[in-house]
Structure 1
Amino acid sequence: MLHRSILYLYLLEQYARFCDMFSIVYVVFSCFCAVTLCESDESRLVQLEQGLVRGYKDPELGIYSFYGIPYAKAPTGTDRFKAPLPAPVWSGTFEAVDNETVCPQRNLMNVLPPSYIAKADCLIANIYVPDTNTTNLPVLIIIHGGAYITGFGNMFTPKKITDTKKVISVTFNYRLGPYGFLCLGTKDAPGNAGMKDQAALIRWVNKNIINFGGDPDNIIVSGFSSGASSADFLILSKMTRGYVKKLVPESGSGISPYNIQFDPVENAKQYAKLLGFDNVDDIEALENFYKTIPYDLLNSANVIAIPNSEALMAPCIERDVGEERFLDDSPTNILKRGDFEKVPTLYGFIDLDGLIRFREFDNWKNKMNNKFSEFLPVDLKFENEIEKENVAERVRHFYFGDKPVGVETVLGFVYYLTDVLFAWPILRSVKYQVASGHDQIYLYEYLYFEDSTPFIQGTNVRGANHCAQTFAILDGYWNDTVVYEKDVSEDIKQRKVFMKSIWLNFMLTGKPIPDEGSDLPAWPPVGLDLTPAMSINRTLELKGPLIKERRELWENIYEKHFRQPIPPTLPPKYRHLIGENNELHISS
């Protein structure tokens, strides 16, 4: 609510500066008028330590939107890869109306709005507050996806779910591509700048959300795709320990091969070559190249889909350079030790999540037929090429039988990528967590699709695409244009109501379905045998192990061939870039 005394002093100051020809009586009258205006339904003022912030009421919904509030400041110049700096302060009123700022990136998959403005100083949060006098509301933080190289906070907006008056919602930007995830293990490029942005956002929300009517001790973190893996990492990191109370990762896992760098220095070299820099073996020259290249070129390489599911720019294990680290060990090691907070978690995937890679089908099918081993995930290792080719043939035969990869076997292509990128890493992570004592994980598989969904090429099969459950909960797709769409079918409307009721119940109680008073089937937490799991379609059905045969295939392979990621390793001659540090060794 508006603090009259603060507004009065501010207006008095402005009057003295610009309107000293008027009498003090007029000032008091003007201030009274301003107070009345600000307390109308059109806008709302919130006092933060940074200064006053004004948000505006949505014309269609009963919520107030605060766009573009800086939650931290991105360092600049040669410090651009370091941890974020404290948020700026201001003396006047911050008009929270900027919903166009994004972090520097290549506009892959056309995810950016037409009027976007890419800025290096892009660390902004968007707060959505219901029009209610209720305080201490749960706080939903949504982490956008985009493979850590593209996207922005409001790719989806949580306006409709905020309008239930049961939660306050937050979206935000974080640094992407090499700007956020260059990981050389040096003092100037230690790694995980983008994840440290996310940690700064969590801390900022914890500190400030009470002023918007939110409960700082009831923060729910949700994310989709790479945003889901980010949510996983936030639970594993010591930087955010104690802040997150519930977790909703949607179609993504922190131990997926595309969500962590397995050899960060080698990745930095490969990416630099894509940008036209060849002197990559001189680490000092390589670092200087990254520190001086213009931002628009820095994030210009297209690395959205690599055959072995590798991510050249993603979170990494950091070496010790004498400052706070976001991730100091392998995620699998942390999970196996149980060294993470075991908060209620709603965790699942889409049965056809791999459709996100269907655009690569025509380009990849012949390559898969010629050398399928190139498509084995990057987190596998082999003694020799013969062993690798044998495993590749086993996997190829499992998904495609005796037929080549092509239109006739296109479902094998989709299921293969579903499993490698999403389903198998999620189930593997869940198993590690349950084994370490986590007994509050609710597992699901999402199969719902609209009647208008097209058939997969060459088949009579239709299914939900990657992150379809996110589409059901949040508004729009990449932008706000769908939020107020009037002609959506009743089928879609009912699905959104159905899904929001489940997700909201979890956010409020830590359980997706109440123990009592619900017509829906009971949904117990998952056990070590990965049962039960909920099948979410037009109805709910509790099932046994999901994708059992496919999971068992990968369990056997990963028991023998799993490859741990490593922190950056540099030759001793570059110690002047590193400083005194402790080497980090990751066991197999």
Structure 2
Amino acid sequence: MLIFLIFTFICVCQCVDFRVVETSEGPVKGYNDDGVYGFYNIPYAKAPTGRDRFKPALPAPHRPYILEAVDKGIVCPQPKDLWTLLNRSLLMTEDCLVVNIFAPDTTKTNLPVLVSVHGGGFVIGDGNLLKYKNLIKGRELIVVTFNYRLGAHGFLCLGTEDAPGNSGMKDQVALLRWVKANIANFGGNPDDITITGGSAGAASVHLLMLSPMSQGLFNKVIPESGAATAPWAVQIDPIWVAQEYAKMLNFTNYQDLNALEEFYKTVSYEILASEGMELMNQAHASISLGPCLEKGYGDKFLTESPVNILKSGKYSKVPMLFGFAKMEGLIRKDIFDVWSERMNAKFSDFIPLDLDLDNETIQKVKEFYFGTTPIDKTKIVDYINFFTDIVIAYPTLRSLKMHVEAGHDSIYLYEFSFVHDDVPYIPYTQIRGADHCAQTLHVGDGNLTHTDDGVFPKECREMKRITRELWYNFITKGKPVPEGSAFPSWPPVGKDLSPHMVIDDPLELKDVLLKERMVFWDEIYEKHYRHPSPPKIKLSTRTEL
């Protein structure tokens, strides 16, 4: 019996497949899970604490031991609503700047690398919110996911020495520098790094593309359902935002800017993150605690409006796979009954904060989408199109136009339109639509609540295969449909802003995307656009969030 137990113990030990990899801070140990080695929760930087909590990250400490790189569920401070929704048990901590690396079971080296920036409106989420094992399996690709500071913790922007702004974006730059320095030890090519992200992750990677701080750290970009020019991508007025959020947290002395800063530096993280979800549910769709224009102190991530950077052409024009889902506005479908009534009463509440419109122009916008009769359940698709355009589609197409005018000639544009029979109908209709970041969920494993592809209908599994193949082609070759591919030809966008690929069953190449709606908003933004501003040390007179 003793001999049998010893033999069993030896077999179990031999069957545990792991790798130990050196990093700049010390060795890490990851394990094989179904053909993919996972290295979880590796510190890539250290968030400062106490009164320095809003400053840029510090270097990660060195370790004299092998780190067991297993999933501990570490997330940055944020509201817990998403955890409850997804039934996840996580560890919220200030010491949250960790990276996860997933590598195929191969001895090959110099593999292409995909770095994914998670979404969540800059206030929720974490690197493991979406996994990519099915993208990796059977392919030569390394995927990197990570956490960055969120909400006020990552994006309070007072323009002071202790709260200069953009700590969350500087975390992302620190991560890219860490990947550049360490990924070769995991089998990756430090000179072939693609950055991707959905929603706020898309705005992040687009901003990384425009920021001088991150140049040379990647060579391809995939913004999925988001853009740097979106009204929610950069704070329109950081001091006003800080004051309004402090009011949400029941701080009454917000007009005193010294007291305001002291409040943020001393309030608990539980309180600091408690109202983040409220920021994501505003009528004007301009999430307010996000990146900002900086001034004053230290190294700066962003000092100029993304629109001006794009128009100047002074940024690295790396290849882009750029697009969105057909009905991004479905993210607002569950509040249609309440918001349609609000729209009838005061439509101006739903105008993005980066526009300064008179009443006549506000009425023009309303009539373009809804006509002259009241907004009721017969107009829910118009409601979805309206939010699709102001939140995602028009900022993407506006950015595209500026990229092309600046001479960028390697952008591959798409609209993800695929739906299947398990997708619920839009309320009050017999219509289905591709929801916010639908393409992101097709590239990743399952969706946010299921990780097994087997739960999906056959046609959905096939579309996942196709979408992953398009993305993998772009990651490895710089174009989604390389020469010799079985897919339809997909050239980059030209000066006429066409073509674009409709990602559906079947794939279909078309000309200008949403031309009428784009022309409509072009006219309005050319006349009424308000650039974001850096912190201004004075009490704002803007209306409430």
TM range (shorter): over 0.9
**Structure 1 residues 397 and 176: CA distance shift in structure 2, 3 A:** same
**Equivalent residues in 2 for 1:148-547, closer than 5 Å:** 148-301=122-275, 302-321=278-297, 323-382=298-357, 388-478=358-448, 482-515=450-483, 517-547=484-514
3-state SS, counterpart of residue 208 of structure 1: helix
Distance (Å, rounded) in 1 between the aligned partners of 2:111 and 2:85: 31
How far did 1:496 drift? 1.1
Q: Do 1:52 and 1:94's aligned partners in 2 also have CA atoms closer than 8 Å?
A: yes
The CA deviation at 1:37 is 9.7
> 2: distance between equivalents of 1:168 and 1:81?
31
Counterpart of 1:343 in structure 2: which amino acid? V
Match of 1:124 among 63, 74, 98: 98
AA aligned to 1:141 is V
Q: Measure how far apart 1:571 and its partner are.
A: 5.1
Mark the runs of 5 or more structure 2 residues left unpaired by the alignment.
1-9, 540-545
- 1:451 CA drift (Å): 1.5
- Secondary structure of the structure 1 residue equivalent to 2:219: strand
What CA deviation, in whole Å up to 9, does each residue of 1:440-492 have, x standing for no partner? Answer: 0000011001111121111221111110101111013336xx33353432112
| 1:308 alignment partner AA | H
CA distance in 2, matches of 1:531, 1:319: 38
What one-letter code is carried by the residue in structure 1 that aligns with 2:333? Answer: F
**In the alignment, does 2:42 pair up with 1:42?**
no
2:509 counterpart SS class? strand
State how far apart, in whole Å, the 1-side matches of 2:319 and 2:387 are.
28
Residue of structure 2 equivalent to 1:145? 119
Question: What is the rounded CA distance, in whole Å, between the counterparts of 2:380 and 2:29 in structure 1?
Answer: 52
Q: Structure 1 residues 36, 459: closer, same or farther in 2, change over 3 A?
A: closer
Contact 2:74-2:92 within 8 A present in 1 as well: yes
Answer yes or no: is 1:136 the counterpart of 2:106: no
Say yes or no: does 1:95 pair with 2:68.
yes
Give the conservation status (yes or no) of the 8 Å contact 1:369–1:404.
yes
Q: Name the counterpart of 2:57.
A: 84
Distance apart, 1:359 and its partner CA:
2.3
Equivalent pair of 1:111/1:155 in contact (CA under 8 Å): no
User: 1:52 Cα deviation (Å)?
Assistant: 1.1
Aligned to 1:564: 531
Cα pair 1:347 1:442 within 8 Å, conserved: yes
Distance in 1 between the 2:295 and 2:11 partners?
55
Q: Quick check: 1:268–1:312 contact (8 Å CA) kept in 2? A: no
* Distance in 2, Cα, partners of 1:225 & 1:305: 15
Partner of 2:5: none
The answer (yes or no) to whether the contact 1:143–1:221 under 8 Å persists in 2 is: yes
Cα distance between partner residues in 2 of 1:99 and 1:484: 21
91-100 or 553-562: bigger deviation = 91-100
Superposed CA offset, 1:363-414 (max 9, x none): 21111001111111111114xxxxx211111111111112222211001110
* Partners of 2:527 and 2:181 in 1: CA distance: 46
Query: Looking at CA atoms only, which structure, 1 or 2, has the larger radius of gyration?
Result: 1
Instruction: Give the Cα separation in 2 of the matches to 1:358 and 1:87.
Output: 43
1:529 CA displacement:
2.0
Gapped runs of 5+ residues in structure 1?
1-34, 383-387, 573-588
SS in 2 for 1:196: helix
How many Å apart are 1:519 and its aligned residue?
A: 2.7
State how far apart, in whole Å, the 1-side matches of 2:482 and 2:149 are. 38
Distance 1:294 1:571 in 2: 26
Structure 1 stretch 81-90 or stretch 113-122: which is displaced more?
113-122
Secondary structure (helix, strand or coil) at the match of 1:69 reads strand
Aligned counterparts of 2:192 and 2:452: Cα–Cα separation in 1: 29
SS of the aligned residue for 2:22 comes to strand
What is the CA–CA distance in structure 1 between the aligned matches of 2:129 and 2:88, rounded to whole Å?
A: 12
Judge conservation of contact 1:80–1:179 (CA < 8 Å) in 2.
yes
- Checking the alignment, whether the CA contact within 8 Å between 1:535 and 1:542 is kept in structure 2 is yes
Task: Return 485-494 or 519-528, whichever deviates more.
Answer: 485-494
Identity fraction in percent: 47
Q: Deviations over 1:248-269 (max 9, x none)?
A: 1100011100111000000000
The answer on whether the counterparts of 1:229 and 1:254 sit within 8 Å (CA) in structure 2 is yes
Q: Which moved more, 1:294-303 or 1:182-191?
A: 294-303
- CA distance change for structure 1 residues 200 and 37 in 2, over 3 Å: closer, same or farther? farther
State the one-letter code of the partner of 2:497: L
Contact 1:70–1:87, Cα closer than 8 Å, also in 2: yes
Cα pair distance change 1:289/1:525, threshold 3 Å: same
Contact 2:160 2:296 in 1 (8 A): no
Output the amino acid matched with 1:182.
Answer: L
Q: Give yes or no for contact 1:100–1:113 (8 Å, CA) kept in 2.
A: no
How far residue 493 of structure 1 moved from its aligned partner, in angstroms, is: 1.4
Give, in whole Å, the separation in 1 of the partners of 2:271 and 2:175: 26
Contact 1:106 1:150 in 2 (8 A): yes
Q: Is this contact kept in 2: 1:352–1:464, CA < 8 A?
A: yes
- Aligned pair in 2 of structure 1 residues 339, 111: CA closer, same or farther (>3 Å)? farther
AA matched with 1:194: G
- For 1:353 and 1:310, the matched residues in 2 are separated by 15
**How many Å apart are 1:320 and its aligned residue?**
2.4
| Total equivalences in the alignment | 528
Moved more, 556-565 or 105-114: 105-114
SS at 1:78 equivalent: helix
1:132 touches 1:165 (CA, 8 Å); kept in 2? no
The residue type equivalent to 2:318 in the other structure is V
TM-score norm. by structure 1 comes to: 0.87
3-state DSSP of counterpart to 2:279: coil
In 2, distance between residues paired with 1:534 and 1:419?
A: 18
Pick which of 345-354 and 302-311 moved more.
302-311
- Structure 1 residue 570: Cα displacement: 1.3
Name the SS of the counterpart of 2:461 in structure 1: helix
- What's the TM-score once normalised by structure 2's chain length? 0.94
Residue 369 of structure 1 contacts residue 405 of structure 1 at CA under 8 Å; is this kept in 2?
A: yes
Q: Is the 8 A contact 2:445 2:453 kept in 1?
A: no
